[in-house]
Amino acid sequence: MIPVQGLEGARVAVLGLGRSGISASRALTAGGAKVICWDDNPAARARAEAEGLSCGDLLGPGALDKVARLIVSPGIPHLYPAPNPVVAAALEAGVPVDNDIGLFFQSFATLAWDHYDVAPRVVAVTGSNGKSTTSALIHHILEHVGRPCQLAGNIGRGVLDLDPAVDGEVVVLELSSYQTELARALTPDVAVFTNLTPDHLDRHAGMGGYYAAKRRLFAEGGPDRAVIGVDEAEGRFLAGQLSEGPGDDRVIRISAERKLSGPGWQVFARKGFLSEYRRGKQVGSIDLRGIQGLPGAHNHQNACAAYAACRALGLAPRVIEAAFHSFGGLPHRSQTVAEVNGVRYVNDSKATNVDSAAKALAAFKNIRWICGGLEKEGGLGGLAEAQGGVRKAYVIGREAAQFAMQLTAEAEVCGTMEKAVALAAAEAEEGDVVLLAPAAASFDQYDSFERRGEDFVAQVQKVLAE
């Protein structure tokens, strides 16, 4: 645990008692703060009270009196589409609003660092797609070279559940827009922006607000190095804002679509090869085509981002390349779960939006595509050009029929994962890929994309055992 610094003796309110809320409450208490918690769910309050935490209605008379800070969990809106009533009351009362990420950055450095040979560093990764894989890949590379490291944030552990950093350690954080938009302290040493595509637009009141939430990691954080994906206009604009000129190598531009040129620092992937250029000269190259844990152009973009971040930390190209080959990928993200009789079964349940599903489809040929679920805002129009490699779609979800009508590929309404996997497996031929890439949220049938992916794996195992 990382005890929170700077709030000793202060009264701090915590709203939301999920993973981050409980973690923040523990860390605040360990740092000497007087914590009062609240969650609308009675079971969550009971769990907190069982740990010795004090719960109280934050909308009660005088509940926010003398409160130094309100800590809000990521899923609780504070501005759009409408502020949570407790957040609105805090803002009205002039109480600063923060989250566990802000507490982490204000508390990470300690006096013990004065005795370290190498100060610990933080690599923070944000973006619409690929941030989990990029974060995990950076962590894997650091583990491969024997560097002390920890992984946390939107992936793995809560940030305040991390162990205090040791000499030379690197902490890798995956940060969502919900986390970056509210944190009062953001001071990463290396910050990564993978890409930007429409997502969470209701929470941010449109693309402008969504981009602004991501941008805070760089504008507020002032990282020593910024790794920026420039395949979208927003990334190019951000790189331009951060750079003092074409040769400013504090900004490392990355692309999975084209060759980058100029006097600065660039990392790009074309036709399966990653290249690094600095000051107009090539200084590194990796053949990505045979790396099973990083299939497709979208994973090549993740590879470029992780490579650039690790180069910013001083790692050599050949060391990074060796680590790429031992990376197994993440569950539910282009994860090969079986390969039998020439048919490959791939779990990409994390492809919860149109853009990520399109990238998954582009990574394979001869696809038996399992898709469907709770459709997101904007429809499925962005998938029209991506379906060229789809032999047939098998649609799941409560609105499967409506979903299927929007597809250009041949589609069969299955409804359930069990039926979809069984039918796809029965019809698959040698060279086919049975791919779960839903292009939709899971909440119509599952409580998370992880549960959906686990069901896919279970159904594949069931079919193959018959």
Residue 14 sits at φ, ψ, to 5 deg, of -120, 120
The answer to the question of whether 131 is labelled as a binding residue is: yes
Distances in whole angstroms, Cα of residue 178 to Cα of each of 28, 211, 235: 21, 11, 19
20 is in an annotated binding site: no
Burial of 338 per CB tally in 10 Å (0-12, 13-18, 19+):
middle
- 221 annotated ligand binder: no
Q: Is 126 annotated as a binding residue?
A: no
Query: Does residue 130 have a known ligand-binding role?
Result: yes
Residue list, annotated binding site: 127-133
Where is the binding site for ATP, in residues? 127-133
